[in-house]
Amino acid sequence: MSPKPPRADALSLPADVAAALLAHVRAEAPNEACGLLSGDLRRGSVAAFHPVRNALASPYRFDVDPGDLARALDAIEATGLELVAIFHSHPRSAAVPSALDRRESRYPVPYLIAGVEGSSTKLVLRAWRVDEAGAREMAVRIGRDQQSEARLSRTLRATGSSTMSTAHEPSSLPER
């Protein structure tokens, strides 16, 4: 049995990476968008977003295109970074892992999900550790530097989205 990777208590993203995630979600709508995040796994810090195609082209499920997956993993390895998280969107539901997400999770890294909360159409980013014990929420921290903050603000205004993460454990996880 291989050792478990060290676990950060939060996922930290630069604002320009958060903006890229939201742009990818918008470009893939109405289908689920997906991608990989690279950086420093031990610290939970994200350095780059690697958008990939949803091979299912579905608003209810995602499966990373195998060719895109290979290219993204090669790019991550070439930069000397690590796979930090797997990203996907829930265009019609909350940013929590569905029963299908929990059953199909295979990587020992956090899952970052963009979804809608309540009756709002605003997107929210939430991070989760998904394993045999269930799904546990992690904090999401969006970095703020002047240049990336300006880009994120423009993206949020254009999409009507928010990147604030809630820090509560849902009482039940929805089915998709």
Q: Give the active site residues.
A: 32
Sign of the CA dihedral running 106, 167, 138, 26: positive
Residue 171's identity, in one-letter code, is S
Give the span between the Cα atoms of 137 and 44, in whole angstroms: 14
Sign of the CA dihedral running 50, 53, 57, 62: negative
What secondary structure letter does DSSP report for 156? H
∠ CA(120), CA(137), CA(26), 5° rounding?
Answer: 40
Phi–psi pair at 18, nearest 5 degrees: -60, -40
Give the span between the Cα atoms of 42 and 114, in whole angstroms: 23
